[in-house]
Amino acid sequence: MGGHSGRSASQNYPKRYSPLTGSGEIFSRYDKAKLVPLGEYVPFESVLGKLMSRLSPIEASMRPGDLNQVFDTPFGRAIAGICYESAFPQLFRHQAASGGQFILTASNNDPYNATMMAQHHAQDVMRAIESDRWAVRATNTGFSGIIDPQGKTQWISGFRTYETHAHVIYRRQTQTPYVRWGDWLTPVLGIAAIGGWVMGVRGNGWGG
């Protein structure tokens, strides 16, 4: 991960994930789409500028990537995520629907304790299950891991240890119900629950 694009003093730059070929050439790129407020950009910078900048250690806001990116690698099209983008399933869903065959995520977890690292890993587990894809997670301080499409962790690194690991993963092109239809089930269940509550209240004679 890396390869931030060059910028002048007046330009913002992206947080970028770039796969390299065997000869060291950049094959493609993925720019982080969901940036962290005050950590990677200053909210309402044009309006609150100086006030918000005092709350943030960053010197300049990063530029978010497009929400509709695809990420090709020498091994096939991947589903990419950087840091806490794992908390946004719609990003992974779009990339799976666009032909992503496996998940690659990378994160700088140095500021976090073991509990937060485990939470972050659990988010990747959910994304693997939702998309029915193998997931490879790379971090600098833990927890790196390999997750199968059923959400089982096949390997996980230690806490703040330097480790390398070789594993075989498989490309998949299945389309789960979530990848096909998204979050439609959530509002449907919500409406059904409200309808059931109303029917129950009426059945108990509430309101007369």
Q: Which of 13, 57, 66 is nearest to 38 (CA)?
A: 57
**Burial class (CB within 10 angstroms; exposed 0-12, middle 13-18, buried 19+) of 92:** buried
Q: Which of 35, 41, 65 is nearest to 53 (CA)?
A: 41
**Burial class (CB within 10 angstroms; exposed 0-12, middle 13-18, buried 19+) of 72:** middle
**pLDDT interval class at 8 (50, 70, 90):** very low
pLDDT of 189 strictly over 50: yes
Phi, psi (rounded to 5 degrees) for 46: -70, -25
Concatenated DSSP letters of 117-137: HHHHHHHHHHHHHHHT--EEE
d(CA 76, CA 79): 10
Model pTM score: 0.82
- Out of 4-13, 68-77, 193-202, pick the least confident: 4-13
The secondary structure of residue 50, as a DSSP letter, is H
Q: What would the CATH number be for the domain defined by 16-175?
A: 3.60.110.10
pLDDT for 50-67, tens place per residue? 666 566 555 667 889 999
Side chain identity, residue 7: R
- Asked if omega into 71 is within 30° of 0 (cis), the reply is no
d(CA 144, CA 153): 10
Concatenated DSSP letters of 138-205: EESSS--EEE-TTS-EEEE--TT----------------HHHHHGGGHHHHHHHHHHHHHHHHHHHTT
3-class secondary structure, 84: helix
Average predicted confidence (pLDDT) for the chain: 86
Residue-level pLDDT at 59: 62
pLDDT of 35 strictly over 70: yes
